[in-house]
Amino acid sequence: MRRLTLIALLGCAMLIASCASRPPRSPAAPRVEMPAEAMRPCALYLLPKSATQSDLETGFAQRGAQIVACDAARSLAVQTHEAEHQLTDRMKSR
């Protein structure tokens, strides 16, 4: 009878030791997809070689609009990056 008790205790100890050696698995943090607008390079209007006053005025207006669009895309990329970090931090704190 002692031999069976020893075998049972040894088997139980092996099961407990194998479970204790594994760290608990936490799910991977969700990834936030970067919007296409944020990944597109910004374009800027270039003056033609023989620019006129009209070309300069058009260039100022177009560049202004392009800078605003580029800044909005940059802001969107920053917001997406921050949201992903917040999700990662929230998953780590669980």
For the chain, give the secondary structure using H, E and C.
Answer: CHHHHHHHHHHHHHHHHHHHCCCCCCCCCCCCCCCHHHHCCCCCCCCCCCCCHHHHHHHHHHHHHHHHHHHHHHHHHHHHHHHHHHHHHHHHCC
Whether residue 15 has pLDDT greater than 60? yes
Query: For 16-69, how does the pLDDT look when each residue is reduced to its tens digit (9 = 90+)?
Result: 666 656 666 666 767 788 888 888 888 889 999 999 999 999 999 999 999 999
43 CB-near residues (< 8 Å, 6+ apart)? 66
pTM of the model: 0.60
Domain boundaries, the chain: 2-92
